[in-house]
Amino acid sequence: MSQFRPPDDDQQTAATSPAAAGKEEDEAFDDAYEHSLLALSRRQHGIDDEMDITPMIDITFLLLIFFLVASKMDPNSAVALPKARHGTAVVEKNSVVILVSQGTPDAPKVSRESGQPFSSDLATQEDEIRDYVEKGLASGKQYVLIKAEKQIKQRHVSQVAKSIGLAPEAQSLHVAVMETK
């Protein structure tokens, strides 16, 4: 025969109160939910450590394309030379002078100090300039001076300087500029 035994207080509360049983289940669910949220946030936090730079790269390429399309490159543009503030003076009497003045857009007029022009053919012009410089330096002149008008493009002055450089005696080349005071 079985004996009746009254339940303990803890057992009695759990058995007799369905709300208490549900409360324990809720607490267990809340603990599991919080644990899963912590694990999920840790995973997401690892992903957020790296920045997505794809939009930055897109903007960089868009800016590059914009500046390539919007910029105007003109290798034939004239160079605005500054006025000279400092420099040494060269006496014209001691210089072989070559004048470069406005001619056609493709070929300026290159002439001697006396105004006698050199040939318009570039190969012939180089030879004539070289001979002129050699004769001038042999006559006792010390310098070679290029006088170019302001509108003359730098490439034309450079071409004349190259022709002067063909003369082995040409040691000192000067380009005339406007002196400011």
- pLDDT tens digits for range 136-161: 888 888 888 888 887 788 888 888 88
- Note whether residue 181 is domain-resident: no
The pLDDT, as a whole number, for residue 76 is: 44
Q: Strands, E, within the chain: which ranges?
A: 95-101, 109-112, 143-148, 173-175
> Highest-confidence range of 35-49, 126-140, 152-166, 167-181, by mean pLDDT?
126-140
| Higher pLDDT, residue 125 or 40 | 125
The pLDDT, as a whole number, for residue 152 is: 80
- Note whether residue 79 is domain-resident: no
In this structure, the strands spanning 173-175 and 109-112 are unpaired
The pLDDT, as a whole number, for residue 59 is: 96
DSSP, collapsed to helix, strand or coil, labels residue 45 as helix
Same domain, yes or no, for 108 and 161? yes
The pLDDT, as a whole number, for residue 47 is: 56
- Note whether residue 31 is domain-resident: yes
- Note whether residue 169 is domain-resident: yes
Same domain, yes or no, for 99 and 167? yes
pLDDT band at 109 (very low <50, low <70, confident <90, very high): confident
Q: What is the largest distance, in Å, between two alpha-carbon atoms of the chain? A: 150
Domain around 56: 9-70
CB of 106 closer than 8 Å to CB of 66: no
- pLDDT tens digits for range 49-73: 678 899 999 999 999 999 988 887 6
Supply the pTM of this predicted model. 0.50
Same domain, yes or no, for 99 and 171? yes
- Note whether residue 149 is domain-resident: yes
Structural domains of the chain, count: 2
